[in-house]
Amino acid sequence: MKKNVLIVGAGGVAQVAAHKCAQNNDILGDICIASRKQFKCERIIESIYRKNNIKDKTKKIYSRQLNALDIDATVKLIEETNSQIVINLAQSYVNMSLLEACIKTKVAYMDTAIHEEPDKVCEDPPWYANYEWKRKDRCKENQITAILGVGFDPGVVNAYCAYAVKHLFDKIDTIDIMDVNAGDHGKYFATNFDPEINFREFKKVWTWVNRRWVEEQVHKIRREYDFPVVGKRTIYLNGHDELHSLSKNIDANSIRFWMGFSDHYINVFTVLKNLGLTSEKPIKT
Amino acid sequence: MKKNVLIVGAGGVAQVAAHKCAQNNDILGDICIASRKQFKCERIIESIYRKNNIKDKTKKIYSRQLNALDIDATVKLIEETNSQIVINLAQSYVNMSLLEACIKTKVAYMDTAIHEEPDKVCEDPPWYANYEWKRKDRCKENQITAILGVGFDPGVVNAYCAYAVKHLFDKIDTIDIMDVNAGDHGKYFATNFDPEINFREFKKVWTWVNRRWVEEQVHKIRREYDFPVVGKRTIYLNGHDELHSLSKNIDANSIRFWMGFSDHYINVFTVLKNLGLTSEKPIKT
């Protein structure tokens, strides 16, 4: 078992992952949380101690400042911390530099979302082929494992699909992934995850239909679906990371991703989009 | 008759005023247009020549770069251009510095809107008493005329009210100013004037009811009104510059200002406001 974890990023997902790692630090060893803003890492560590979520108190849990676009700095940090597992929970702009640092140091790499280039939004399918999959041979040569998209969607969704193929069905016609967040924190507006990355998804829709990539407009194709527990919700055909890997690895005719949005969400998004506030380009007056 | 006009500002209103001045430059003399961005002044001058809107071609029409918050620079420019009339068509943040430069050089001052301090939004009534009216004695001593709010509203509205008091009625009970812009340029969203200043009006509503200042919430009190030409429109009780001068100069029980907004306008404004994008305070992440 590989020892010592370097968590890069200090947002909501990093917070959860850090608590989980600390609860299992008898197996995982020392944990370092690194981010551009070190105080956010310290805040997470403080909450782990406060909630007594650290199993083996003899193991270290500590923070470092890191710009994960800087490969040399990341290599140095991996070596200094003696980490054998890197969990990338930072913004998706750093995937390729962080993976590169892992290849150089021969340590395991994990992330939860596809790589994003700042000036390229909604890249052509299969998106992974532009970035992560180009490093496949070098990962093999260096005998390291890189697990991509280990979150919920992508992540758990891919595991469910693989399980269904292996154990439940003889043949797969269509996979519909329906992502609905029915939570409510009482605030005026929220995206399902990092707003910047979330909004970048809504430039165009790439979907896999009858074994071909089809481009559709954002928020154009909608359905009502009666979900268990949360009830009827409106879902919209959307592009998403896992379509790119599922379409490669699963022999299905169609694989589609649907995301739930309330009328209020669509309204706020439409206003921001029409005023030019969702663009990746800098606003000039 | 005073000669030579210095127009400060190069937006939409400055454009119209410059054309009008040029059409009457046999009376007004030389015209200088000054702004922080000199190319915008040049663009106006080019359009005057292109449309042949200059009456006396022997008179000068030219541009200068000016930061109107810099009183010394403005004094120097007034002297260099030998201007006797300054028309302030810049943003309302420069009123007091520009008026000061006019007092120092003893030239006439005109503006179209009340002074704004960047960090003070929707000041307490009567707003003019905090700024422009404090210079009244010094204008008198220096024998200069300062005409405030010479646009449409305030401006023409005030003239109509004064005419009604003098010539049409024995007694005034209520003045309702109803401002509806029924134009459409086909764009997604527009404010009636400078968006920044327009949005600053919508923090609270100060209105003059039964000879007292009353504070109300923005977009709370609404009416349907059937206007000539444009038909039925929804208008909202709003604060506005002229209430502060009319309540001082006209013996009326109530003076109220109403502004027309479509449901679409209210929706876009509500989204921006709830996301914190209409605040005068800098946005921090």
pLDDT tens profile A205-240: 999 999 999 999 999 999 999 999 999 999 999 999
Given the cut 0.90, state whether the ipTM is greater than it.
Answer: no
Distance from A37 to chain B by nearest Cα, in Å?
12
Chain B residues whose C-beta sits inside 8 Å of any chain A C-beta: 188-189, 267-268, 271-272, 274-275, 277
Task: Using CA coordinates, name the residue in chain B closest to A266.
Answer: B271
- Could you write out the DSSP letters of every residue in B225-250? EEETTTEEEEEEEE--HHHHHHHHHS
**Final residue of a domain: which of B122, B147, B172?**
B147
CA distance A166 to A154: 19
- Partners of residue B11 in chain A, C-beta under 8 Å: none
- Partners of residue A189 in chain B, C-beta under 8 Å: 274-275
Check residue B132 and give its pLDDT. 98
Reply yes or no on whether the pLDDT at B115 is more than 80. yes
Using the beta-carbon criterion (under 8 Å), do A188 and B275 form an inter-chain contact?
A: yes
Give me the half-sphere count of Cα atoms (radius 13 Å) on the Cβ side of residue A267.
Answer: 17
Distance from B147 to chain A by nearest Cα, in Å?
31
- Partners of residue A267 in chain B, C-beta under 8 Å: 267, 271
- Partners of residue B271 in chain A, C-beta under 8 Å: 267-268, 271-272
**Bridge partner residues of B238 (DSSP):** B257
Residue A31 included in any domain? yes
Reply yes or no on whether the pLDDT at A163 is more than 90. yes
Task: Note whether A14 and A141 are same-domain residues.
Answer: yes
Task: Note whether A36 and A137 are same-domain residues.
Answer: yes
Residue A152 included in any domain? no
Distance from B183 to chain A by nearest Cα, in Å?
19
**Final residue of a domain: which of A85, A119, A147?**
A147
Q: Domain holding B226: CATH number?
A: 3.30.360.10
Task: Note whether A264 and A183 are same-domain residues.
Answer: yes
Angle at A282 between CA B116 and CA B277, to 5 degrees: 40
Task: Note whether A127 and A194 are same-domain residues.
Answer: no
**Final residue of a domain: which of B147, B172, B197?**
B147
Task: Note whether A20 and A138 are same-domain residues.
Answer: yes
Check residue B194 and give its pLDDT. 87
Choose from A91, A271, A277, A283 for mutation: most chain B CBs within 10 A. A271
Check residue A280 and give its pLDDT. 87
Check residue A282 and give its pLDDT. 85
Using the beta-carbon criterion (under 8 Å), do B189 and A268 form an inter-chain contact?
A: no
Judge if the upstream peptide bond of residue B282 is cis by omega within 30 degrees of 0.
Answer: no
The answer to whether B76 and B64 are in contact (CB under 8 A) is no
Residue A64 included in any domain? yes
Task: Note whether B32 and B130 are same-domain residues.
Answer: yes
- Partners of residue A188 in chain B, C-beta under 8 Å: 274-275
The residue range of the domain holding A208 is: 167-274
Task: Using CA coordinates, name the residue in chain B closest to A270.
Answer: B268
Residue A280 included in any domain? no
Residue A142 included in any domain? yes
Mean of the pLDDT values across residues B216-237? Answer: 96
Task: Note whether A71 and A197 are same-domain residues.
Answer: no
How many domains in chain B?
A: 2
A216 membership: H or E segment, kind and range:
strand A212-216
Pairing between β-strand B61-65 and β-strand A252-260 as defined by DSSP bridges? unpaired
Q: Domain holding A25: CATH number?
A: 3.40.50.720
**Which of B65-79, B86-100, B155-169, B176-190 has the lowest average pLDDT?**
B176-190
Extract the tokens encoding A183: 């939570």
CA distance A99 to A134: 11
**Bridge partner residues of A226 (DSSP):** A232
Listed residue (B130, B268, B96) closest to B199, CA to CA: B268
Check residue A134 and give its pLDDT. 97
Check residue A193 and give its pLDDT. 84
Using the beta-carbon criterion (under 8 Å), do A189 and B274 form an inter-chain contact?
A: yes
CA distance B165 to A207: 69
Choose from B275, B278, B283 for mutation: most chain A CBs within 10 A. B275
User: Phi-psi region for residue B217, left (φ > 0), alpha (ψ -120 to 50) or beta?
Assistant: beta
Residue B154 included in any domain? no
Task: Note whether A129 and A179 are same-domain residues.
Answer: no
Mean of the pLDDT values across residues A95-99? Answer: 98
- Partners of residue A272 in chain B, C-beta under 8 Å: 271, 275
Residue B285 included in any domain? no
Task: Note whether B120 and B169 are same-domain residues.
Answer: no
Binned at pLDDT 50, 70 and 90, residue B154 comes out as: very high
Check residue B192 and give its pLDDT. 83
Using the beta-carbon criterion (under 8 Å), do B267 and A267 form an inter-chain contact?
A: yes
Distance from B188 to chain A by nearest Cα, in Å?
7
Write the pLDDT tens digit of every residue in A34-70.
Answer: 999 999 999 999 999 999 999 999 999 999 999 999 9
Write the pLDDT tens digit of every residue in B63-112.
Answer: 999 999 999 999 999 999 999 999 999 999 999 999 999 999 999 999 99
Residue B153 included in any domain? no
CA distance B233 to B245: 27
The answer to whether B108 and B84 are in contact (CB under 8 A) is yes
Let me know how long chain B is.
285
Task: Note whether B136 and B18 are same-domain residues.
Answer: yes
Chain A residues whose C-beta sits inside 8 Å of any chain B C-beta: 188-189, 267-268, 271-272, 274-275, 277
Task: Note whether A89 and A199 are same-domain residues.
Answer: no
Task: Note whether B38 and B139 are same-domain residues.
Answer: yes
Check residue B202 and give its pLDDT. 94
CA distance B205 to B216: 5
